[in-house]
Each structure stands twice: as structure tokens, then as C-alpha cells.
Amino acid sequence: MRFARQRPVLSMALAACISAGLASCSSYAPAPKAFHEATIQPYRLDSGDRLRVTVFEQPNLSNTYTVDQAGYLSFPLVGQVPARGQTIAVLEGAIAAKLKKGFLRDPDVTIEVDRYRPVFVMGEVGRPGQYSYVPGMTAQNAIAVAGGFTARGNQRDIDVTRKINGEVLTGRTTISSPVLAGDTIYVRERLF
């Protein structure tokens, strides 16, 4: 009789443990709307991007330059030009404006991304690490480059960490979602 009275208490305790366990499994944050909006916005420069800068009829100024860790592009004659968070068009205008102040009469500056900053693929993949970013890359492409999923890898959705407007955000998204240069892709272990 005494055991029969304890049974509902044990059942409730077991149910509480199971629901707490399931709640922790679903306590992720889905990718915020800004994740998807960032993929259709103009590319924003950041540390590690290598740029091919061409100044028309100025071969001594035309070269490849890398955005440094502080987010600046060190350019001859004009010095440090802020690049972090800027679009290519804005940076072209900033360099041209600085060159116009006492160096060139009407500078024509064009910039192309020579090499994007890398993506990082972590978790349940064959070869976790840093990989070259290619425009149009999806999470699935990045995972394939990193050796594919391990036998324990969750192949439905992944966690992506992305810097948006200077803020670092993490959210869960599908493997077919586009990724951006500088993203960190984390493949979790599947539960079953």
C-alpha cells in the first residue's frame, strides 16, 4: 500500500525530468530575421578581407590590400582608411575623397574582393576548421568542404554565428541556408 502511494510521486518526478530534458533540447534560438536579411544586403567588409584596389592610370597605387584586425585599410599616400562595416562602393568613395585632397585631381578608384575572410566549420564534421568562403556558399557546401557530416552529425539544421551590424548573433537554421564570409557553422550531435 505504501509503494502504491509513492508511484504517482515517482511518475510526476520522472515526467518532470523528461520534460526538463526535452526543454533543454529545444532551448535554442532560431535564426533571427536579421540573419536572412544580411544575406541579401550588399557585402560588408571586415578584418581579413583582401581587396584588389585599382586607381585608374596610377599603377603605383593599384595593388592588393588587406583589411587589418582593427578594421582599417592602409593605403599609400592617405594612410588608414576605415573599412570595417563599409560596402565596397563606400570604401571606393572614401579612398577617392582622400586622394583628391592634394594628391590626384580626379581619382577613379575601383575595388574588388580578391579573397574573402574565411568561414569556420565546427562540431560533427570530418575536418573541423577554417575554410575559404565563396560567394553563394550554403551551409551544406561549407560542411562538404569540411569533410561532410560525421556519423553522429545532425543533418537537419545547424547553428550559425554571424556578425551583423557589429553585434555577434547565433541562431539555428537549415543546412540549405546561405552563409556569409566570417560565419561560424556548428554541426551538433544528433540525439537519436
H or E, element range at 78: none
| Same domain flag for 69 and 121 | no
Q: How confident is the model at residue 69 (pLDDT cuts 50, 70, 90)?
A: very high
C-alpha grid cell, residue 186? 556548428
| Same domain flag for 151 and 181 | yes
Q: How confident is the model at residue 152 (pLDDT cuts 50, 70, 90)?
A: very high
CA distance 133 to 40: 16
Per DSSP, the residues of 116-161 read: PPPEEEEESBSS-EEE---TT-BHHHHHHHTT-B-TTB--SEEEEE
| Same domain flag for 122 and 164 | yes
| Same domain flag for 61 and 104 | yes
CATH number of 70's domain: 3.30.1950.10
| Same domain flag for 183 and 121 | yes
Region 114-130: what's the mean pLDDT?
Answer: 96
pLDDT given at position 57: 93
Q: How confident is the model at residue 36 (pLDDT cuts 50, 70, 90)?
A: confident
Read off the pLDDT of residues 73-112 as tens digits, 9 standing for 90 and up.
999 999 999 999 999 999 999 999 999 998 999 999 999 9
| Same domain flag for 82 and 174 | no
CA distance 111 to 28: 39
pLDDT given at position 28: 59
Query: What phi, psi does 86 have (nearest 5°)?
Result: -90, 155
Which residues form the domain of 76?
50-115
Count of domains for the chain: 2
pTM: predicted TM-score of the whole model, two decimal places: 0.77
pLDDT given at position 192: 67
Closest Cα partner for 33 from 191, 173, 175, 184? 173
Read off the pLDDT of residues 6-30 as tens digits, 9 standing for 90 and up.
455 444 444 444 444 433 344 457 7
| Same domain flag for 63 and 85 | yes
CATH number of 174's domain: 3.10.560.10
Q: Which residue has the higher pLDDT, 169 or 126?
A: 126
| Same domain flag for 130 and 76 | no
Pairing relationship of beta strands 50-55 and 63-66 according to DSSP bridges: antiparallel
